[in-house]
Structure 1
Amino acid sequence: MAPVPLSTVLREWGRIGALGFGGPPAHVALLRDLTVDKRGWIDAREFEDAFAACNLLPGPASTQMSIFCAHRVAGRAGAIVGGLAFIIPGLILCLVIAAVALQDEPPAAVDAFGMGAAAAVVAVVVQAGLKLIDPRRGLVYVIAGALGAALTGPYVVVILLAAGFFELARHKLFSAVWPALVWLAVKVGALSYGGGYVIIPLMYGDAVEAQRWMSEQAFANAVAYGQITPGPVVHTVSFVGYAAAGLPGALAATAIAFTPSFVFILVGARHFQRLRTSPNVRAFLDGAGPAAAGAILGAAVPLLTAIDATWQWFVLAGAAIALLARVPPIAVLVGGAIAGLATTLF
């Protein structure tokens, strides 16, 4: 197949980045619709194998998948263009929101909007953690999940548990803003296994507890904004960077967090099939999965403590009921945000 023009990659991947509301499932569905179903650029089996391999890598899987697909149809230049086109639309929106929401005194409507979404996001995070649980491996999940949930505080580097591996305890290495921010972004981009939600405990310990760049409520709002906006959930790191060091901090944290995804694909795409079928890699991920589930469920605890208004508990209850009724998470989050906004009218 002749390489796809970079202008086409820029347009199509930019469209997905701008319209990709709903998190990784929506992103992957849009990529598959474009590259497999409509254009026939990638074989269906190759697409599925590549996505499986991306899930074995640290960092945001849907971002890596967007880079892989662009690499597959337009080479290395396509990977860079497509990856950036996928990331930048959501980043711009997140920076605009951060500039308003992270003011010392944000507008009441903006604050309520974020608080409503933050209440709903607790239920969404719990659901994400429960989905990772494999009932066939109950004892492993009890042990690893308990460790993951208990240790999702300021000392977590990354959840790693596989056939004798255990969680690596993290010490507070830096006190200055920039070194600490760089280290946080490295953890998010290069050391986080288990999907986008694992970054929540990784960031919470630094952003709220260790460095105190954000309040619990501001962090919970940022997590919600990272899911309401299009593009990768990892955009939450831009809010943390903005809180730490303004616009330069947001841009630097985002660049550092996403760079490993480009490196992994540009260097390792040709090894994807071997990676996916490696028994050693599978054994490692079989162990990391339970701990990741525990970490995600544990991440709901600090998000829950950020709820301090009575109406937020009603939003949380409504969100839980909606998720049980199989309402899409993005709709639940938007509904929570609108409910929060409505409180400013009364």
Structure 2
Amino acid sequence: MKHNLPSFQEALRVWTRVGCLSFGGPAAQIAMLQHEVVDRRSWVSDRRFLHALNFCMLLPGPEAMQLATYLGWLMHGVRGGVAAGLLFIMPGVAVMLALSAIFVALGHVPLIAALFFGLKCAVLVLVVEALLRVARRALKGALPWALAVAAFLALFVLAVPFPIVVLAAALAGWLAPQAFAPGGHGGNGSGEASALDAALAADPGRISRMAGSARRAGLVSLVLWLWPVALLMPSGGVMADISWFFSKMAVVTFGGAYAVLAYVAQEAVEHYRWLSAAEMLTGLGLAETTPGPLILVLQFVGFLAGWRDSGWGGAVAGALLTVWVTFLPCFAWIFLGAPYLERLHDMPRLRGALAGVTAAVVGVIGNLALWFGLRVLFAEMHGILPVPASIQWKALALVVLAGVLLFRFRLGVVPLLAASSAAGLVLGLVWP
């Protein structure tokens, strides 16, 4: 088989597909990316994919969006990174904007809720499948398994802050690099070489030549991020508060949206009074069932803040300003950091540290899968445990259906999501 890098147009089609189908939060999104660029097309090797993922897990912001940006940059430079990152978030931004407007205008819409309910159940099954696939590839040896289990317990049971978990895993890998499976970037898990590795082998100076433009793009991203903040702050008002508050969130959201949602909810509800606690939960529900990063819940907050301040025009401005200051820093982190990481990836101790993060990522995905699954299947939680009597039988039926379609009949992602959404719609009509 010839292993040529895809054309930019071919990559655009795939990034668009990923952006439109990236439902279910980071675990499902990482699974979608791996399926498209590693398993299905062999554009990127399994090891290089995990290498990039490890770096993104250490950054503030949505790791799956940053991973797409990193992979896009590796294949097509700055334009590839910008295209992959934008296409990852824009479908979700458009859907969230529409749903926010529907919520403000009409309130709860049962038909849409039923459609998204079936979608959410299918996403849960995709997350479980992703967890199994990543675990098979990433956990080879006693220490990786121990780190994965420890990360899961630390996050789910002990509520240890995410950065501490990741840094501890990185330290373990740094101190014991020999405990992790050695090797280069390799292939896609089937033993065949990836297109990117073949391109880098034929052109060893490729990354070095791309580094300069990446650094310039990173600095431009920083300027574009900060100029509206500097412009709005002197005038005060809601837009100034939005730009400053969500800019702060962009640099402290280690561990993705879950790690910062409690703080955002408290500040937005109690301090700024942009929305109520019930509305914050509605926004989270919308974000969980739209494509794109879960952090898009912040867009919903910005929409309501702008709407209550100055009507529909303010709502759109608040939503788009929130998106601007939330995601532009993500491009900066990738373009400024990725060239250095690529240059250092053959250092044994650094490779061991990143392999430690890989193992912990399995525990992180397990934690996200369980967190998401319990809230899909149960209506009430008591601490970290579900209330058994609150089990949602419709959700269980849809999850079983999606599981059979995926694991027994090997249905593709798009048909699976379509079938589950249709089943959710039918159930919502006949079983209120």
Class of the TM-score when normalised by the shorter of the 2 chains: 0.5 to 0.7
- Partner of residue 332, structure 2: 263
Do residues 69 (structure 1) and 71 (structure 2) align? yes
Q: 2:323 aligns with which of 234, 254, 258?
A: 254
- Partner of residue 23, structure 1: 25
- Partner of residue 98, structure 1: 100
Q: SS of the counterpart of 1:213?
A: coil
Q: SS of the counterpart of 1:102?
A: helix
- Partner of residue 171, structure 1: none
Measured in 1, the distance between the counterparts of 2:248 and 2:76 equals: 29
Measured in 1, the distance between the counterparts of 2:98 and 2:251 equals: 26
Measured in 2, the distance between the counterparts of 1:70 and 1:24 equals: 18
1:209-240, Cα deviation, whole Å (9 max, x unpaired)? 21121122211111011110112111111111
Do residues 239 (structure 1) and 296 (structure 2) align? no
1:118-159, Cα deviation, whole Å (9 max, x unpaired)? 9xx9xx99xx9xx9x9765899779973x86xxxxxxxxxx7
- Partner of residue 200, structure 1: 261
Contact 2:380 2:390 in 1 (8 A): no
Contact 1:24 1:62 in 2 (8 A): yes
- Partner of residue 212, structure 1: 273
- Partner of residue 241, structure 2: 180
Measured in 1, the distance between the counterparts of 2:80 and 2:25 equals: 23
Q: Answer with 1 or 2: which has the greater Rg.
A: 2
Measured in 1, the distance between the counterparts of 2:260 and 2:57 equals: 15
Query: Deviation at 1:207?
Result: 2.0
Q: SS of the counterpart of 1:267?
A: helix
Note the 1:1-346 alignment, pairs <5 A: 4-103=6-105, 106-108=106-108, 110=109, 136=150, 145=159, 176-245=237-306, 246-270=315-339, 271=341, 273=345, 277=351, 314=390
Contact 2:29 2:64 in 1 (8 A): yes
1:270-300, Cα deviation, whole Å (9 max, x unpaired)? 21637965869x89xx9xx99xx8xx98xx9
Tell me: CA distance 1:162–1:340, structure 2 relative to 1, closer, same or farther (3 Å). Answer: same
Contact 1:181 1:253 in 2 (8 A): yes
Q: Could you tell me which runs of 5 or more consecutive residues in structure 1 were left unpaired when the two chains were aligned.
A: 149-158, 164-173, 306-312
Which letter does structure 1 place at the counterpart of 2:41?
R
Query: Deviation at 1:177?
Result: 1.7
Which letter does structure 2 place at the counterpart of 1:81?
A
Query: Deviation at 1:43?
Result: 1.9
**Number of corresponding residues:** 302
Query: Deviation at 1:196?
Result: 2.8
Contact 1:67 1:79 in 2 (8 A): yes
Contact 1:70 1:82 in 2 (8 A): yes
Contact 1:20 1:230 in 2 (8 A): yes
Measured in 2, the distance between the counterparts of 1:24 and 1:198 equals: 12
Measured in 1, the distance between the counterparts of 2:390 and 2:152 equals: 32
Identity across matched positions, percent: 25
Which letter does structure 1 place at the counterpart of 2:32?
L
Q: Which TM-score applies when normalising by structure 1?
A: 0.66
Tell me: CA distance 1:206–1:37, structure 2 relative to 1, closer, same or farther (3 Å). Answer: same
Contact 2:58 2:163 in 1 (8 A): no
Contact 1:116 1:315 in 2 (8 A): no
1:310-332, Cα deviation, whole Å (9 max, x unpaired)? xxx9466976999899979x99x
Measured in 1, the distance between the counterparts of 2:61 and 2:24 equals: 18
Which letter does structure 2 place at the counterpart of 1:68?
Y
Measured in 1, the distance between the counterparts of 2:26 and 2:165 equals: 25
Contact 2:303 2:319 in 1 (8 A): yes
Measured in 1, the distance between the counterparts of 2:48 and 2:26 equals: 18
Which letter does structure 2 place at the counterpart of 1:22?
G
Contact 2:114 2:425 in 1 (8 A): no
- Partner of residue 166, structure 1: none
Contact 2:69 2:84 in 1 (8 A): yes
Query: Deviation at 1:58?
Result: 1.3
Query: Deviation at 1:24?
Result: 2.0
Q: Over aligned residue pairs, what C-alpha RMSD do you find?
A: 4.9
Query: Deviation at 1:244?
Result: 1.0
Measured in 2, the distance between the counterparts of 1:211 and 1:304 equals: 28
Tell me: CA distance 1:276–1:85, structure 2 relative to 1, closer, same or farther (3 Å). Answer: farther
Tell me: CA distance 1:318–1:194, structure 2 relative to 1, closer, same or farther (3 Å). Answer: farther
Q: Could you tell me which runs of 5 or more consecutive residues in structure 2 were left unpaired when the two chains were aligned.
A: 132-146, 167-232, 307-314, 382-388, 407-416
Measured in 2, the distance between the counterparts of 1:325 and 1:186 equals: 42
